[in-house]
Every structure is written in structure tokens, then in C-alpha cells.
Structure 1
Amino acid sequence: MENLGYYNGEYDLIENMKIPMNDRVCYFGDGVYDATYSRNHIIFALEEHIDRFYNSAGLLRIKIPYTKEELKSLLNEMVQKVDSGEQFVYWQVTRGTGMRNHAFPSPDVKANIWIVLKPLNVKDMSQKLKLITLEDTRFLHCNIKTLNLLPSVIAAQKTEEAGCQEAVFHRGDRVTECAHSNVSIIQDGILKTAPADNLILPGIARAHLIKMCKKLEIPVNETAFTLKELMEADEVIVTSSGQFCMSACEIDGKPVGGKAPELIKKIQDALLNEFLQETEKI
């Protein structure tokens, strides 16, 4: 198949799938999601993404109708059905299907599982990103990978209109994260990245970046940093599942970074090799 949509045991091409109008996602965005990439039909960092998925669901009191092992088996089975081995692998759970009501449905209403798979490659990390900054007006539970993404949608549109690739959120002077990525900086050979509190999503790519820097003996400082530090950093790094370590060259029309290219390249090569090794065809 060229792509694949899955809903509670039924699957077909994405464009052929139909979803009940009363799925709570339609009214409330009542669910959580996670996503990663596959190569050679092997899903990258699946264990970590599954753990975060179940944590997000638990924080919203959504009971996933599969064990972790059952869901991993299902995802591994589904990626084999798409022709391309290089895929964007997305899955979500919604609280269930029922007449519109803000309160949770009765406990016997099962949660709904969605899977969306489409051919896509991870991004070329040699490309430089242009960013904008926006005040972070989201709610105070950004550590939950919820389906309520309207602020990120608005930010993405503003980014597009500015001819840039990503928006950096800040609350006052504190930098939090990007609209759909994490942001970190390198200053004086040290990686500085926001703490994994309720104001950022604990990105899997961010975790791999931290782990790799420690492996490469690059000091890591997990404390909040300011807009001034962002603009004056030796390098600005954007990380997500599809872009392991992208560096920025411009923020709000002003040049940034570019002062530690060898260090950036070292980290990028190490992260890419990690991805290639984990997804090597057996």
C-alpha cells in the first residue's frame, strides 16, 4: 500500500478511512498522540515513544485498550503493509465514541486507536533553519502530548507567512520550546536545554541529543534560558522526531549561531549514525 490508515482494527488507504462523528476527538480533541519514523520498516526509538504515549494517556486518565507490547506489535505489523520502508509513523488514542458531553463517557466505552502511516524521510540536517519567536500562550500541561494543537497550528501559519520553518515559544523572557519541536542552545561548548517540566514536551529527540552529548563528553545544562541567551548563543538547535539536530541561522530576521559548526556536525553525525544503526535491516 502507498499509505495506511487504521481505526480500531479496520485499515485501508488513508483517504478511504471513515471516522465516527461522535468520536470525542471531533468535539474536544480528547486524546493524545505520538509519532516517530521508520527505516527499512523498522520503527526508530519505539520503546521510548510508547512509554511517553502511555504516560500522556495516563495523565488524562485515558485507558489504552492494549498493553504496551500489544501496541508495539500492532505498529510493527502495520508498517510492513506500506510499500516504502521509510515512513512517518503516527498513532493516537481518543477517549471513545459517544454523544457530545464534556464529562467522560461511562467506563464501558472503549478508547479508540488510530494509526496513520505515510512515506517520509527524516530531514537533511545540513539545512539551516529560519525561526521566529512568539509568546507562549498555551495551557500549563505542555508535558502531555495532547491533540489540542490549535496554538501550534496558529504558530505554524505565522511561521509560514514569515518565510521561516519554526516558531520558538517563550513565556516572558524564558524560552520554552518550539511549536512542534524542542529548542536548545550551545554556548561555550555546553549544551543548554530547558528542564523537562510542565512547560515543555519531553521530546524523544531531545533526550537522544542529551544522551549523545554526554557520550561525546559535551557538558549538558538542563536549566531554563532566556531570549537574550538564545539570540547570543554559539548555536541554536531544533530537535524533533524527524529532525534530530537542526541548527538555526536566523531568528526574527537576525542572524544567529554559526559559531560552533564543527561541534554541531559532530553531534549530527553521531545522531544520524545512531538512527541508521537502530534501523539497519537484519
Structure 2
Amino acid sequence: MKELAYYDGTIGTPDELTIPFNDRVHFFGDGVYDATVGGNHKVYLLQDHLDRFYSSAKALDIKIPMEKEEFGELLTRLLSMVEGETHFVYWQVTRGAGTRNHTFADDMLGKLWVMIRPNRLKDPEVPVSLITREDTRFYHCNIKTLNLIPSVMASQKAKEAGAEETIFHRGEIVTECAHSNVSILKDGIFYSHPNDTMILRGISKTHMISACYRLGIPVIERPFTLSELMDADEIIVTSSSNFCLHANQIDGKPVGGKDPKNLLLIQDEVISEYLAYTGKKSLFD
């Protein structure tokens, strides 16, 4: 199978599956999701992503119809059914199906969705351009909710500006990107926004911080400003489907490029972890 879709026990292609009209996702975006890379038919950092997925669901009182271990086994089995060596693995749970009503029954059981398709990781040696935008999202950014309209609009603005990603900020404080985390290197120190309710706890960012510790690069998790962002030696953008990209332009102004040694050390360490986990020989095979 070239591309797989799963809904509530049914497996097919995305074109074959149908979703009940009364699934609450249609009316309220009522659900949470997670995603990662599949390499060599292994779901990368599966346990980390499952932990975040189940935590997001618990925060919204959504009842996932499988225990964590069983669902992890299902994801692994579904990935084995798809052709290729590198994949985008996405899953979500919606609160369930029922007559449209803002309130929901206490015993409502969630509906699981999975989508797996071929993927190609971006080359971390190629710099990316970014734009900035005021963060007007709600105050539960730590929950990986399906309500992504602000992120969709910000991503579209980046596309229209010829950029790859949008950096959100609340006033002068940088939070995260539309669908990534952003961190900086300055004077040999790695700075990143703490894991509070203003950002989603990025699993790739968490593992990049661990890589910094292994490399002896000091880490400070604190909010940083737009001025600090623009003055950083390197600006690093991370997500579960693209590791450790670096920026050379923000809002049309040149940035970064002043600490390539530490940047390369971090990139190599992060990529080595991925290759060791998946058993792949190259990031792009």
C-alpha cells in the first residue's frame, strides 16, 4: 500500500474511508493529534509521542479507546503495511460521534484516526527563511488540539512571503512557530522557551536539548525576545518531521550563520540518534 488511512478499526486508502457525519471533529475540531517520522518501518520516538498524545487527550477529557501499548503496536503494524523506507506517521483521536451539542456524554468513547504516507526529510544543511507574526492563539498551546486555524493562516502567510515557517511572538516574547519549535544559539549557549502553556512541548526539541547536554553545550530554558532572536548566532527550527533546520533570514533580514561549528555538532548528534533508532544508514534513503 502506498498510502494508508485508518478510522475506528477500518483500514483503507484516504479516498476509500468515510467518516460519520456526526463525528464531533466536523463541528468542533474536538480532538487531539500527534505525528512523527517513520524510518525503516519504525515509528520514531514512539513512546515520547504516545505520552504526549495521551496527555493531550487527558487534558480535554477525551477517552482514547485503546491502552497506550496496544495503540503503539497498532501504529507499528500499520506502518509495516506501507511501501517505502521513510514516512510521515500521523494520528488523532476525536471525542466521538453524536448529535451536535456543545456538551458531551460522560461515557463517550473517542474515535482513532491514522494516516501514513511517504515522506522525505529536509536537508538540515540547507538554511530556511522565516517570518514573524503576533501570537493570537489561545492559552492552551501545550495541548496538541485539532483547532489549528491560527497556525494554518500563519503558515499560509509564510508561504505567500516565500518563507518556510512563521515564528509566533506575544509582544516581545518569542513563543514557537506555526508548526515547529524555535530555539537559538548565542555565545555558545542554547536558549529555548520553557515548556509552559504558551508552547507545545516539542519532542524533537526535547531530544535536541538532550543532545546539547551530551555535547557539553550549556542549555538555558527561558523566554527570549525578538531582539535576542534577531541577534542570535544561530536560529534553529525543529519539528517531528524535520530535525534541526537553521534559518538565514527573518522578515527579509539576514540572521544567523555565526556559530556553524556548534550548529553542525547539534545537527549531527540529532541525526545520529535518528539513524541509530531506526537502523537507517542515511537521512534521505
TM-score (structure 2 length as normaliser): 0.97
Matched AA of 2:15: E
Q: Distance in 1 between matches of 2:17 and 2:122?
A: 28
SS in structure 2 at match of 1:26 = helix
Give the fraction of aligned pairs with identical amino acids, expressed as a percent. Answer: 55
CA displacement 1:187-246 (0-9 Å, x = unmatched): 000000001000000000010110000110000000000000000000000000111101
Aligned to 1:20: 20
Aligned to 2:283: none
Q: Alpha-carbon deviation of 1:86?
A: 1.1
User: Are 2:170 and 1:171 equivalent residues in the alignment?
Assistant: yes
Matched AA of 1:35: A
8 Å contact from structure 1 (residues 42, 85) kept in 2:
no
Aligned to 1:81: 81
Q: Distance in 2 between matches of 1:103 and 1:193?
A: 38
Aligned to 2:227: 228
Q: Distance in 1 between matches of 2:175 and 2:106?
A: 36
Q: Alpha-carbon deviation of 1:109?
A: 2.8
Structure 1 runs (4+) greater than 3 angstroms displaced: none
Q: Distance in 2 between matches of 1:84 and 1:15?
A: 20
Q: Give the unaligned 5+ runs of structure 1.
A: none
SS in structure 2 at match of 1:15 = coil
> More deviation in 131-140 or 12-21?
12-21
1:11-160 map, 5 Å:
11-104=11-104, 106-160=105-159
| Count of aligned pairs | 280
Q: Alpha-carbon deviation of 1:14?
A: 1.2
Q: Distance in 2 between matches of 1:168 and 1:273?
A: 27
TM-score (structure 1 length as normaliser): 0.98
User: Are 2:248 and 1:249 equivalent residues in the alignment?
Assistant: yes
CA displacement 1:21-68 (0-9 Å, x = unmatched): 111000100000000011110111000000000000000001111111
Q: Distance in 1 between matches of 2:108 and 2:219?
A: 45
8 Å contact from structure 2 (residues 30, 95) kept in 1:
yes
Q: Distance in 2 between matches of 1:145 and 1:199?
A: 12
Q: Alpha-carbon deviation of 1:263?
A: 1.0
Matched AA of 2:232: A
Q: RMSD of the TM alignment (CA)?
A: 0.8
Q: Alpha-carbon deviation of 1:178?
A: 0.2
Aligned to 1:273: 272
Q: Distance in 2 between matches of 1:101 and 1:109?
A: 13
Q: Alpha-carbon deviation of 1:84?
A: 1.3
Q: Alpha-carbon deviation of 1:82?
A: 0.4
Q: Alpha-carbon deviation of 1:108?
A: 3.4
8 Å contact from structure 2 (residues 233, 257) kept in 1:
yes
Q: Distance in 2 between matches of 1:80 and 1:258?
A: 40
> More deviation in 181-190 or 262-271?
262-271
Aligned to 1:4: 4
Q: Distance in 1 between matches of 2:237 and 2:249?
A: 12
